[in-house]
Chains A and B, each alone.
Chain A
Amino acid sequence: MKGYSGLALFRNALSGHRNWRPAWREPAPRSRYDIVIVGGGGHGLATAYYLAKNHGITDVAVLERGWLGGGNTGRNTAIVRSSYLLDANAGFYEFSMKLWEGLSEDLNYNVMFSQRGMVNLAHSNADLTGLLRRGNAMRLNGIDARALTVAELATLMPGLDLSPSARLPILGGLMQPRGGIARHDAVAWGYARAADARGVDLVQDCEVTGFLRSPTGRVTGVETAHGRIGADKVLLAVSGDSSRLAAMAGLRLPIETHTLQALVSEPVKPMLNVAAVSGALHIYINQSDKGELVMGGDLDGCNSYARRGSLHVLDHVVQSAVALFPEISRLRMMRSWAGAVDMTMDGSPIMDRLPVDGLYLDGGWCYGGFKATPAAGWAMAHLLATDEPHPVARHHGLDRFSRGALLDERGSGSSPWMH
């Protein structure tokens, strides 16, 4: 792999940028690998990279049915934060945040990680109490958190409607200064390029249609669009489709698949330099480097694999955005899209071995998959290499449901569409 650098950019500029090499190979899959990873999104690619880098395991293939990063990795609103209440989630997502902070250098790929700050807004005393409680929990876990007064919010977010006569007046906020956004496509491409350079085969347009099983039931490989591929271990990193693939191995998971939508406005001059969330209005919003306002809201609300959603959900997101920032009321929506997300029964992810030998799951990512990408890859590589859960992911096992050790940040119970 030729390193990317200022000097390389200069040298290639002299030849009109006609001599850049492809960022990764496009190999035909071999008939057998030590480890096959199903799903070429951020998580699958990061797992492949850390298997090679941390554990020296390079006989690995990543199989992707579409194109790399074309699923939820390329559909999220790119927010990175570790502002979680529960110790297990705080520890995991803060581990991820620390990996984010060195990611561009580690991958030699600019993932445009911008720690512009993440702000949660409170619209009632109960809201504010909840946020302050979360902020205190974060600080006890060694995570940066700062309470914001209305006056501080006015300085930080000049367009925000802070008037007491607003439909849902803002009473304060909580900020994680190290939170922010990253370029989501670049995360997939950076991990892909770095994994490929270490010998991992990335195979696109290769859908997995079933599992090969030994007489004892162990998974020994996968059936694919390109034929059978043997493997000692198979990882599912296919959020949205985890249940569908697990069903091919005869398993039922504590997961439902739901639609999550997002949209962007036309680009405007810089007006919002933090990522902002309002739980009461059900919206998260940030401004991309191109100037578009990127927004998302709640799930559509009923099980769906369709990867398209209803207009009334987008309408609600837009109404919420205008309630927060009245000056954007005449902006036009440029495009909207939807992803199919794994929603678990407690709203937290699952990183574990499945009850079929040789099969592993990185799934159930709900709203939180993108920001988890580096840590999920790190922890899953550890699990695949050692068959022991990584310490930061040891609470995210599949058996937590039967043990009653749920990780329910919101306390909304086993109704996945409510998380």
Chain B
Amino acid sequence: MAEFTYGGSAVQRPQSDTLDEQEGSDWPGAEWNAFIYERDNPSGPHAEMWFHGAACRTWFSLMRDTATHQCLDGAA
């Protein structure tokens, strides 16, 4: 078992919990659709979530370079 578990991209949850008509969107669910399914998926610095499951059991965000696997300075 690995000490740290990956939790995916650090994406921002939409402000509203309802499917309101959004300005600039084609349809009410566009913002939630983008949050759940669409990703930047960069080759390079990537803001992501990790879980320290084998010790302090904390979720934290991290900037990591997806081309080199290097962890970068500062939280995402």
B46 touches A303 (CB 8 A): yes
B69 touches A304 (CB 8 A): yes
Q: Do A253 and B2 contact each other (CB < 8 Å), given the known contacts A304-B69, A306-B67, A402-B33?
A: no
CB neighbours of A402 from chain B (8 A): 27, 29-30, 33, 37
Indicate if B23 sits at the interface (CB-CB under 8 A).
Answer: no
A401 touches B37 (CB 8 A): yes
* Of the residues A255, A303, A312, contact of B66 by C-beta under 8 Å: A303
Q: What total count of A-B pairs have CB within 8 Å? A: 65
* Of the residues B33, B41, B69, contact of A256 by C-beta under 8 Å: B41
Q: Do A414 and B66 contact each other (CB < 8 Å), given the known contacts A243-B41, A255-B41, A302-B48?
A: no
Expressed in whole angstroms, the minimum distance between the Cβ of B46 and any Cβ of chain A is 6
CB neighbours of A255 from chain B (8 A): 39, 41
Indicate if A98 sits at the interface (CB-CB under 8 A).
Answer: no
A253 touches B6 (CB 8 A): no
B1 — nearest CB in chain A belongs to which residue? A312
Q: Complex Cα distance A257/B40, Å? A: 10
Q: Do A415 and B8 contact each other (CB < 8 Å), given the known contacts A255-B39, A401-B33?
A: yes
A343 — nearest CB in chain B belongs to which residue? B41
CB neighbours of B37 from chain A (8 A): 254, 345, 401-402, 414
B43 touches A244 (CB 8 A): yes
Indicate if A247 sits at the interface (CB-CB under 8 A).
Answer: yes
* Of the residues B29, B36, B39, contact of A243 by C-beta under 8 Å: B39
Indicate if A93 sits at the interface (CB-CB under 8 A).
Answer: no
CB neighbours of B8 from chain A (8 A): 415, 417
How many B residues touch A, CB cutoff 8 Å? 25
A257 touches B6 (CB 8 A): no
B4 — nearest CB in chain A belongs to which residue? A302
B38 — nearest CB in chain A belongs to which residue? A252
Q: Do A312 and B6 contact each other (CB < 8 Å), given the known contacts A244-B43, A254-B37, A402-B29?
A: no
Indicate if B19 sits at the interface (CB-CB under 8 A).
Answer: no
A305 touches B40 (CB 8 A): no
The 8 A CB mask of B49-73 against A (1 = contact, 0 = none) is: 0000000000000001011110000
Q: Complex Cα distance A342/B2, Å? A: 23
* Of the residues B30, B40, B69, contact of A306 by C-beta under 8 Å: B69
CB neighbours of B75 from chain A (8 A): none
* Of the residues B29, B48, B64, B66, contact of A257 by C-beta under 8 Å: B66
Expressed in whole angstroms, the minimum distance between the Cβ of B26 and any Cβ of chain A is 10
Q: Complex Cα distance A306/B43, Å? A: 9
B26 — nearest CB in chain A belongs to which residue? A402
Indicate if A301 sits at the interface (CB-CB under 8 A).
Answer: yes
CB neighbours of B40 from chain A (8 A): 243, 247, 252
Q: Complex Cα distance A323/B8, Å? A: 31
Expressed in whole angstroms, the minimum distance between the Cβ of A145 and any Cβ of chain B is 32
A253 touches B38 (CB 8 A): yes
A402 — nearest CB in chain B belongs to which residue? B33
* Of the residues A241, A253, A301, A305, contact of B39 by C-beta under 8 Å: A253
Q: Do A254 and B38 contact each other (CB < 8 Å), given the known contacts A302-B64, A304-B66, A306-B67?
A: yes
Q: Complex Cα distance A304/B69, Å? A: 7
B41 — nearest CB in chain A belongs to which residue? A243
Q: Complex Cα distance A412/B52, Å? A: 22
The 10 tightest CB contacts between A and B, nearest first, are A243-B41, A305-B43, A254-B37, A302-B6, A252-B38, A401-B37, A345-B37, A303-B66, A402-B33, A301-B6
Name 16 A/B residue pairs within 8 A (Cβ), A-sorted.
Answer: A244-B43, A252-B39, A252-B41, A253-B39, A254-B39, A255-B39, A256-B9, A256-B41, A301-B5, A301-B6, A302-B48, A303-B9, A305-B43, A306-B69, A402-B37, A417-B8
Known: A301-B5, A306-B68. 13 other contacts (CB 8 A): A241-B43, A243-B41, A244-B41, A244-B42, A252-B38, A254-B38, A254-B39, A256-B41, A257-B41, A303-B41, A304-B66, A402-B30, A414-B37
